[in-house]
């Protein structure tokens, strides 16, 4: 059996690896000149491996069991960041504490677990009487800033259900990265494909018959028995299918939420301690972290979210404005804003989004339909991963799931 896989990010490569390991032929088509998709590791200062930064997905958290298994298989190790993704010091706005923020987060999560379908987070919190006090309002502002930053959309568009998971809480827990860069996982999987990978090969259309799938590119076409489409939702929406897919697929894709996020990395010119600080009014947060050496990297990292937040930081004009805001938020650190590195994803033609978001537009059943096969076309990617959407673990699990579906077709 021959399978063509579109996209060489974590999901596509995981699917390819599983299918190839089962003895079947795979062809992987990737539009970029590199593998990894929205996982992209790069030296901030060329030639200095201590400055490897993650321009895309970064943190490895509890429960990343498949990722840990794949890393072990590839001989790659995790590095403890010492800071915690879950615990951030709020700055700006009315004074509050991380403890107050965590108490609000836990209470909102309980309320969200019973929220009706389609209710926004903004509407949910507006109806919670315990948030009327001034201290609670300050904590709520910090909470909403963090949630909006993470999900990449404002609370009035974000579904209340997206914050119902109590396990995503705000208590300090360990956080890791792949020592030397997360992209090594993609590179390791790609190296096992034995020439089946074709870079710089964007896919333009998908044709399907009763017993075949044909993927058309600028250079020709690839015909196979099955296809796995492991591209971001924003890209998937733009692909023409012949015959056209049933309208229920297209409607679900149209309703799917798109997150807007960006990352910024600034060199540090003096030693720093591990840290995590959220700008409450700025919809961005910053951190310093240890790497595989056990020392804090000479880099200050930042992550911002929502279209409105990115506009306020003028990211379309380059890194300068945001770097200034970061330096003002972290006056205790010595940075070099002139060498800042900015990464955006929503304007990237092969991404179109940072990751998926659960918005109020999604209808009941969309979460089950989005990963559902359409004939001999199968779907993978973080947007198909349900509760793990937006995460590297979700992307890997989606690839493994799609591989299982293809192999079931072959049996």
pTM of the model: 0.97
Greater confidence, 170 or 47?
A: 47
Mean pLDDT of the chain: 95
The CATH number of the domain holding residue 32 is 3.50.50.60
Query: What is the per-residue pLDDT for 135?
Result: 76
100 domain-assigned: yes
246 domain-assigned: yes
Residue 217 above 90 pLDDT?
yes
Query: What is the per-residue pLDDT for 411?
Result: 85
Mean pLDDT of 23-43: 98
Mean pLDDT of 376-393: 97
- Are residues 146 and 15 part of one domain? no
Q: Give the pLDDT confidence of 179-189 residue by residue, as tens digits.
A: 999 999 999 99
- Are residues 215 and 158 part of one domain? no
229 domain-assigned: yes
Query: What is the per-residue pLDDT for 98?
Result: 83
Residue 138 above 60 pLDDT?
yes
- Are residues 193 and 133 part of one domain? no
Last residue of a domain, one of 122, 138, 168: 168
156 domain-assigned: yes
Residue 293 above 60 pLDDT?
yes
- Cβ neighbourhood burial of 82 (10 Å; 0-12, 13-18, 19+): middle
Asked if residue 8 lies in contact with residue 190, where contact means CB atoms within 8 angstroms, the answer is yes
- Are residues 153 and 15 part of one domain? no
- Are residues 163 and 94 part of one domain? yes
In this prediction, residue 24 has a pLDDT band, given cuts at 50, 70 and 90, of very high
Last residue of a domain, one of 141, 168, 195: 168
249 domain-assigned: yes
In this prediction, residue 382 has a pLDDT band, given cuts at 50, 70 and 90, of very high
- Are residues 225 and 156 part of one domain? no
Q: Give the pLDDT confidence of 67-125 residue by residue, as tens digits.
A: 999 999 999 999 999 999 999 999 998 899 888 888 899 889 999 999 999 999 999 99
Q: What is the total count of domains within the chain? A: 2
Q: Give the pLDDT confidence of 239-281 residue by residue, as tens digits.
A: 999 999 999 999 999 999 999 999 999 999 999 999 999 999 9
Domain assignment of residue 13, given as a range: 2-36+183-257+361-410
69 domain-assigned: no
Last residue of a domain, one of 168, 199, 224: 168
230 domain-assigned: yes
381 domain-assigned: yes
Q: Give the pLDDT confidence of 322-348 residue by residue, as tens digits.
A: 999 999 999 999 999 999 999 999 999
267 contact partners, CB below 8 Å, separation of at least 6: 44, 45, 51, 298, 299, 300, 335, 336, 339
């Amino acid at each position: 059996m021959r399978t063509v896989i579109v996209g060489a990010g974590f999901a596509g490569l995981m699917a390819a690896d599983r299918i190839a390991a089962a003895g079947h032929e795979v062809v992987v088509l990737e539009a970029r000149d590199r593998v990894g998709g929205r996982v992209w590791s790069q030296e901030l200062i060329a030639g200095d491996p201590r400055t490897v930064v993650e321009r895309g997905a970064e943190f490895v958290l509890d429960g990343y069991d498949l990722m840990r298994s794949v890393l072990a298989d590839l001989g790659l190790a995790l590095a403890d960041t010492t800071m915690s993704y879950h615990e951030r010091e709020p700055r700006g706005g009315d004074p509050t504490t991380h403890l107050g923020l965590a108490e609000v987060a836990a209470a909102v999560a309980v309320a969200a677990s019973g929220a009706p379908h389609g209710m926004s987070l903004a509407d949910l919190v507006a109806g919670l009487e315990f948030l009327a006090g001034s201290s609670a309002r300050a904590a709520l502002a910090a909470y909403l800033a963090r949630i909006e930053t993470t999900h990449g959309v404002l609370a009035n568009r974000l579904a209340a259900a997206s914050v119902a998971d109590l396990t995503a809480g705000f208590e300090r827990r360990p956080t890791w990265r792949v020592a030397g860069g997360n992209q090594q996982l993609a590179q390791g999987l790609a190296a096992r494909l034995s020439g089946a990978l074709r870079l710089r090969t964007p896919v333009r259309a998908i044709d399907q018959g009763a017993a075949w799938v044909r993927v058309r590119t600028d250079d020709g076409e690839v015909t196979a028995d099955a296809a796995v489409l492991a591209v971001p939702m924003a890209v998937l929406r733009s692909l023409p299918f012949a015959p056209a897919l049933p309208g229920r697929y297209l409607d679900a894709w149209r309703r799917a939420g798109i997150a807007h996020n960006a990352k910024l990395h600034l060199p540090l010119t003096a030693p720093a301690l591990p840290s995590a600080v959220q700008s409450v009014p700025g919809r961005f947060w910053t951190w310093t972290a240890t790497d595989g050496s056990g020392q804090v990297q000479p880099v200050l990292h930042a992550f911002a979210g929502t279209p409105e937040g990115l506009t306020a930081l003028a990211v379309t004009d380059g890194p300068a404005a945001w770097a200034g805001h970061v330096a003002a938020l972290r006056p205790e650190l010595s940075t070099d804003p002139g060498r800042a590195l900015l990464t955006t994803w929503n304007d990237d033609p092969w991404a179109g989004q940072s990751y998926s978001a659960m918005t109020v537009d999604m209808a009941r059943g969309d979460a089950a339909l989005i990963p559902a096969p359409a004939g001999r076309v199968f779907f993978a990617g973080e947007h198909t991963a349900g509760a793990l959407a937006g995460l590297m673990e979700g992307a890997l699990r989606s690839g493994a799931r799609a591989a299982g579906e293809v192999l079931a077709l072959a049996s």
